[in-house]
Structure 1
């Protein structure tokens, strides 16, 4: 049986609730969207998504829904904002797997290492239109009450960075302290290759890398870029070991309170916004000023040989599958098998 976290009400949340609800009587048509990323449309995929969504929704509803954008963790950490969405204090959030896991642990099934062969397959599977995407959204809704209106990757395949040495073999990972999200799957991946998983919240990562609390971290290239990790991490390895989801949620009561036409606008606007977010991630990744070409001028970038990639996969896949079976039981295994089937279907 999977235990799903119930919303926690802290004094800070109560105070924030009072502040946010101190608004005009028309507040029921105000849709607040929060996320942890930079807010500019060309700075992050989440920033692009909200920019596109806001434009389409406000125009498509003739202003009956007003969208307010809260980037950069203004309303709290990922898991705290999801609490606020569940309570209706905030209407929507675009959240990382680390935040989602504290409310819906089975999100960890996405972390099956080396499961996705390429980014095109990932786009097809990490998508509300895929068989797996529909199954995932329905299960998450049933267990948390949160309606999923968007599902996409968190910025691309994960790369590994560190301050100690070039990593090109499995043996190079031995003893490296690698910051992970607070996800058991991520911790298992690092520990299974000989590293020392160091789970930390996002707000603490740069300082941890700067001070040596952690030697390295793993994230997609756009995240590494906007976080300026090249300032404190001289080495990067394009491991492409996992690609995690960003889950876009909306408070069900707020959504149900919209008119059918407003719901139609919100649905198509979210779909268009997700497409924009994917596009911006790919552009940032390839950009001379912010992507891999830029980072290559600041860091030593390496890739894994096919032989070493197979060694990493052999070390990590069984460990993660075992964890999913132990922690999430039959439900987790069913989700993981559905994910693998969806990947196979998208790859053919």
Structure 2
């Protein structure tokens, strides 16, 4: 019996290692493809040589153009996309667990729309240039958290049990309200209209290493806090009563996790604009692969979310080259199709 159990554990460990190797290999392949594919084609050999010269601090006179494209344009954009995908996916997974709602994420609950409104207001009122970036970050985060509080409070007022449908419908109505306010902002913005369109459609063009650092620090701090709460998330996903019975301070933990997710969404929106469906579908894909235990679910959600964003951004800048399609349109197209497939599969299994 003991040998049987030991054999099963070793088989499970081997499967986990194989999945991990596949995940890392797929990620590296996607990142490499995103670097070499574009309006200017770059070979794998040139990519390797540029990266090697950069690491060894050697001159790149023969590959100066390729180095500029790779290191100054594509690499910061790729890293920004990957980090935004991680942030949105982790936020969606956390909201789904806290609310026990498979349809919860920043875009369906209206949090992303609220963050976009905050960023839009910051642009229209004209923040001084030397603190413009920080002002947009701050307004996006404040409006993201305020939107979440407003939506949940109104849902609780309508339905003390906070049923899934009530929360989702409130989020949809709130998103429509914010869309109307954004339209008004666009009408009165005049010369600032292109910037507002950027926030509503989403784009990673012009990403800089500053964005990578800001997004990276946010993911490490806020994401790290969410990772540390994986046991609490397991309890929440099984029901509020179970979480309370095992000694979790429900109100305190929930508020802290909502603050963390709001900051992640707010910063992601302030850098890349409103990008829907990423936080909705990637946790579901991860659950299909590794189950609902957040100890395994969190790393898979992070990697799948990052890869999904890199692939959609690659399609956004290449599918109609030299034109660039807003990344929000690509994520909505693929995200809605994937979600329908997952939903249909779940209904069929049920």
- TM-score, normalised relative to structure 2: 0.28
Structure with higher helix content: 2
Q: Normalized per residue, which structure has more strand?
A: 1
- Higher radius of gyration, 1 or 2: 2
Give the structure-1-normalised TM-score: 0.28
